[in-house]
Structure 1
Amino acid sequence: MFTEWAAGRHPDRPALRFRDARGEWVSVTYAELRDTVRRTARGLLALGVEAGDRVVILAETRPEWMYAHFACLAVGAVVVPVYPTAGDEEALWVLSDSAARTVICEGPEEAARVEGLRGKLPALAHVLVMVGPAGPTMPDGSAVPLDDLLARADAVRPDDDAELVYTSGTTGPPKGCRLTHGNMGAVQDATLHLVEGGPGDRTYLYLPLAHLLAQLIQFSTLLYGGELCYFGGRIEDVVGELAEARPTHLPSVPRLFEKVYSVVRSLAEAQEGGGERFDAAVADGVLAADGALPPERQEAYEAADAALFGPVRAALGGRLRWALTGGAPIDPAVLDFLRACGIQVFEGYGMTESAGVISLNHPGAVRYGTVGRPVAGCEVRIADDGEVLARGPMIFPGYHANALGTAEALDADGWLHTGDLGSLDADGYLTITGRKKDLIITSAGKNLTPSHVELAIERSRFVSHAVMVGDRRPYPVALITVDAEETAGRDPAEVRALVQEAVETANAQVSRPARIRDFAILPGDFTVEGGELTPTLKVRRTAVVERYAAEIEALYHR
């Protein structure tokens, strides 16, 4: 059992930190974590959970998620994570397709949702609750001998399924990715030595644990003896909580870092000449980070560090030195800004089918603008059509009950066809350029990769999402949503002018056929609840195009 191993090495060190029901920060040691996982796992045995049974976890990121996760792995059950934001249709599909017998819910509200679906779930036997006004409903396993649990854990083999993770596909129902204990272990073997961490370090975790990245961060933090600090439950409070949590490590989607950059830059631009001074300060900060600052710029850099970079570090807790991002490209200007603040941000790349990791930038091997080199044990090559292919011990064995999908993803030689387009440079660094299925072919036969211009438009702090449209059309147009905070109090004409500026700036960076000829500003932002975003906040392109078909037609007829 993983928690037995960890507690044997760091019994009295803090393993977890989180807010209790009163909002106070509390800590849990490695020995206490082990004991809680033991109790939870013995409860699952008392309930009759067998090796190979599917157990759904439906909850926000919180310590009880971890207890349930590690307990399931210990008894040989297969964890099926479900996003709390998943709609009833998606939840029903996952519970039904996985044939889950047990569902562990965060609270009574989530349990009531599952109970409402029970009539369509013949395999479902138990619905449990982690927390709630009446307390948890996890079973009592005190009568189960500890030796029975340890024996069950010892019987787990590397080829046994550990998780069944349903991809939040942008088209069609989610596919269940089978991930083995060996897959998960291969990722830790390949990456743990690339993360600079140890006892005394603290990782702040707000990413959803239904996503593999957050789970991998949990494992790596506890493997090197660090402390996991869980967010308080409200995304709106994350930036404010960082000052209290004082993390050394922060995994995040790019949006958080981009918002910090946007706020600081907008404050600078509010002063006359502030934008130019900001850019000069960042340039000096990058040189200082690289150890290449000219002596004559030292005084200016120290002034900028005191007035600009230092306060940013303090706002992020004062100790942050390592950040990891992935899932979407990050603006190079944001990376430069954070480097100037003394914070290293490492981009990586992976997918559910690769147990979360394929390549990673890391200390000593960073090339900004790329997603790093393939990790140890993972081979990467580029197919003739530009698709990224990967092979190694972290690659999944296939989709659950989906032979056709498995055959499309894995070829006879074991190569995973990622569906992403990319390139490898002479030093082996991987760059992702877009999604193969998103390729747009205009009526003139021009092949366009939407992400190039979309990301360029989204670099404007006034834009939240940009979606290029143009398949079988004479030229591309765009559907754009704006950032509500950045555009608050501005009249529609001013907002359109700001978006027009963002589009023109982006057009200057791409080839003529890829330039956006016209655009529509949509009335509201994309949301998971509205169906335009996946639970991992990726745009469901097909859903957006279908929903706004009238707006698209109008762009081609005015």
Structure 2
Amino acid sequence: MMNLAEYLDQYRSRSDQVLYTQWAGEGWKDYTAAEMLALAARWQQAFRAHGFQQGERIALCLKNGIHWVAADLAALGMGLVVVPLYVNDNAENIAWCSNHAEARLLVLENDRMVNTLRSVSASLPLVVCLEGGAEKGVENLDTWLPEATQPFQVVDLAPNTLATICYTSGTTGRPKGAMLSHGNIMSNVEACLKVVSLFDSDVMLSIIPLSHMFERTAGYYLPLKRGIRVAYCRSIQQLAEDLATIRPTLLLAVPRVYERFLARIDQSLAGSRLKRALFDRTVELGWKRYRKQVGPLERLQYAVLKRLVADKIMARLGGRLRLSVVGGAAVELRIAKTFVGLGLNMIQGYGLTEASPVVTANRENDNDPTSAGKPLEGVEVRVNENRELLVRGPNVMLGYWRDPEATAAVIDQDGWLNTGDQVEIRDGRVYIIGRTKEIVVLSNGEKFPPEHVEAAILNDPVFEQVALVGEGRPFIVMIAVTQESDEKKLIKRANEQLRDFPRYIRVRRVIIEREPWTIENGVLTPTMKLKRREILRRYRDQIEQAYSAHRLGE
């Protein structure tokens, strides 16, 4: 048998084990294995009642929670294919991906988006809403889910059976649907289990959307396989409260989460030079201690500062956090130094959806925070003549859904996947040094093609030329050649042109330039393309100032 739903099925004999914790309106509620098996069985009963057949697609556009898990495992158990969609995406993209995958069912959080979806798409599948929905073609989950007449089912599947289609951002045009098999994902889970040590007492707080393959593999299938309880964060705005209540031992996060923590720390230290000095000294000594570069006197000093400074800060993260795995985007060295210096074992990895997604990771006892770590067991890596990272292994996708040309462009005849990222490999570790594909990855893991977005902004004639930056950063900064001087007005006008893009693609700061970019002044190539490295070099100080101003709340 090769079926991801086995991970839930294994708990039949441990029915009272708590697998999930979720906010239930008035308080936190635990969900046992028996409850999850029963809920997944109801989803399967609904699928059978509507005649779903193996290989057909269902689309989930839900917040993290027990229904995401139950619907996913119910579908996988029957050999259906799950298409995860982002709840914060725009309606046009949700409708397009659902239609492109030919999903027979679209599950939404509520019915507020239905009219918008209908306005951008002439055809929608059956829509089921967790809340609301009582009109033609839209059903409410409570009435749609029947009582189960059969137990949860897990059918035998070949390893290369398609499990999910995950749509990823392209440099231009529509997203591409990465096809991942049951075998792809299960091999990645097994390899990840050998990277970190997990204990029965561990609790993981889930904060990354389950539509992100990083969270789905490492924050959902992996803990389910190992029997680790997962608690679902209510929202990023309530993260601090949820950390204090849940007190997780494990946290899977994108760098943006730690940028938020550090911004709050910076704000709290702004009024006291003494506190700032003690914090900086704690981080400095903690980092040196981690690198095994401290002497006896410094070790003693750090022990005092740890109690006075580091422990109090870590208490804000619940006080029990022993391990954090950071992925989805590159971690700024300042972030890694700070939290490792405060005593958090933070390990960074590298991956991409097309590889299910984890390719490399640091190990708990072999961690270099400046690198993306070493390949997972069973995964091969090498570089080509352009220094691009190539990956081969059982985790590499089957291809792009109904796009053989795009598939052939990234996977060669020998099975090597071209990631499009430029790297160096030293002592077996992978160090990311740049990107060959024109994709910007924000620190929360969200991606966007800059040329495509810049072209949309240039529809407003107030902008003569624009360049967007944001790689590894919390938001987008625009450098604009324009004669307009009002930054707020420029932000508003730029974002008016971005209404049809996902909500995370919005300009937050503008750097104004009067002099046009030309071939002669070194900003454009002979083919009139932006030299992005030159832009980053030329405006480096202003870019840093824009992000620093944000951290200080200006």
Give 1:409 deviation, angstroms: 1.0
Residue by residue over 1:266-309, the C-alpha shift from the partner in whole angstroms, topping out at 9 and shown as x without a partner, is 43353235544332221222344456643323443233222221
Aligned AA for 2:261? V
Q: Does 1:84 align with 2:87?
A: yes
Query: 1:4-83, aligned counterparts within 5 Å?
Result: 4-8=8-12, 10-22=14-26, 24-83=27-86
Which residue of the other structure, out of 217, 220, 226, is the alignment partner of 1:218?
Answer: 220
Structure 1 length-normalised TM: 0.78
Residue by residue over 1:432-467, the C-alpha shift from the partner in whole angstroms, topping out at 9 and shown as x without a partner, is 11210349xxxxxxxxxx99xx99xx9xxxxxx9x9
SS at match of 1:85: coil
Aligned AA for 2:224? L
CA distance in 2, matches of 1:258, 1:176: 30
SS at match of 1:69: helix
Is 175-184 or 6-15 further displaced after alignment?
Answer: 6-15
SS at match of 1:247: coil
Alignment match, 1:510 = none
Aligned AA for 2:131? V
Is 323-332 or 46-55 further displaced after alignment?
Answer: 323-332
SS at match of 1:419: strand
Query: 1:109-128, aligned counterparts within 5 Å?
Result: 109-116=112-119, 119-121=122-124, 124=125, 126-128=126-128
CA distance in 2, matches of 1:438, 1:259: 26
SS at match of 2:29: strand
Structure 2 length-normalised TM: 0.78
The 1:332/1:51 distance shift into structure 2, 3 A limit, reads same
Does the CA-based 8 Å contact 2:57-2:102 persist in structure 1? yes
Residue by residue over 1:318-341, the C-alpha shift from the partner in whole angstroms, topping out at 9 and shown as x without a partner, is 111111112222122221221232
CA distance in 1, matches of 2:275, 2:147: 64
Query: 1:307-456, aligned counterparts within 5 Å?
Result: 307-425=308-426, 427-438=427-438
Residue by residue over 1:128-186, the C-alpha shift from the partner in whole angstroms, topping out at 9 and shown as x without a partner, is 1223498624634446433xx63xx3233211110011102342200011110010111
Which stretches in structure 2 are left out of the alignment for 5+ residues?
A: 135-139, 455-464, 480-484, 522-554
CA distance in 1, matches of 2:496, 2:42: 36
- Alignment coverage as a number of residue pairs: 484
Does the CA-based 8 Å contact 2:350-2:359 persist in structure 1? yes
Alignment match, 2:144 = 139
Aligned AA for 1:5? D
The 1:199/1:114 distance shift into structure 2, 3 A limit, reads farther
Residue by residue over 1:396-455, the C-alpha shift from the partner in whole angstroms, topping out at 9 and shown as x without a partner, is 111111111011011111110111111101x1100111210349xxxxxxxxxx99xx99
Alignment match, 2:534 = none
The 1:364/1:527 distance shift into structure 2, 3 A limit, reads farther
The 1:159/1:52 distance shift into structure 2, 3 A limit, reads same
Query: 1:225-236, aligned counterparts within 5 Å?
Result: 225-232=227-234, 234-236=235-237
Query: 1:484-499, aligned counterparts within 5 Å?
Result: none
CA distance in 2, matches of 1:284, 1:9: 49
Q: Does 1:2 align with 2:6?
A: yes
The 1:527/1:311 distance shift into structure 2, 3 A limit, reads farther
Alignment match, 1:461 = none
Which stretches in structure 1 are left out of the alignment for 5+ residues?
A: 440-449, 459-464, 471-475, 487-498, 504-519
Aligned AA for 1:139? W
Give 1:387 deviation, angstroms: 0.9
The 1:353/1:326 distance shift into structure 2, 3 A limit, reads same
Does the CA-based 8 Å contact 1:168-1:536 persist in structure 2? no
SS at match of 1:95: helix
The 1:253/1:282 distance shift into structure 2, 3 A limit, reads same
The 1:98/1:348 distance shift into structure 2, 3 A limit, reads same
CA distance in 2, matches of 1:326, 1:347: 6
CA distance in 2, matches of 1:131, 1:154: 31
Query: 1:77-226, aligned counterparts within 5 Å?
Result: 77-116=80-119, 119-121=122-124, 124=125, 126-132=126-132, 136-137=141-142, 139-142=144-147, 144-146=149-151, 150=153, 153-216=154-217, 217-226=219-228
The 1:429/1:127 distance shift into structure 2, 3 A limit, reads same
Query: 1:438-477, aligned counterparts within 5 Å?
Result: 438=438
The 1:384/1:154 distance shift into structure 2, 3 A limit, reads same
The 1:132/1:328 distance shift into structure 2, 3 A limit, reads same
SS at match of 1:120: coil
The 1:370/1:531 distance shift into structure 2, 3 A limit, reads farther
CA distance in 1, matches of 2:515, 2:146: 63
Aligned AA for 1:26? K
CA distance in 1, matches of 2:494, 2:392: 34
Give 1:44 deviation, angstroms: 1.4
Does the CA-based 8 Å contact 2:90-2:500 persist in structure 1? no
Residue by residue over 1:339-374, the C-alpha shift from the partner in whole angstroms, topping out at 9 and shown as x without a partner, is 232211111111111111111112122122111111
SS at match of 2:308: helix
The 1:534/1:229 distance shift into structure 2, 3 A limit, reads farther
CA distance in 2, matches of 1:224, 1:163: 22
Residue by residue over 1:365-391, the C-alpha shift from the partner in whole angstroms, topping out at 9 and shown as x without a partner, is 212211111111111110101111101
Give 1:203 deviation, angstroms: 0.6
Residue by residue over 1:99-121, the C-alpha shift from the partner in whole angstroms, topping out at 9 and shown as x without a partner, is 11111111122444445556334
CA distance in 1, matches of 2:500, 2:129: 28
Give 1:193 deviation, angstroms: 2.2
SS at match of 1:358: strand
Identity of counterpart residues, as a percentage?
27
CA distance in 1, matches of 2:34, 2:395: 30
SS at match of 1:130: strand
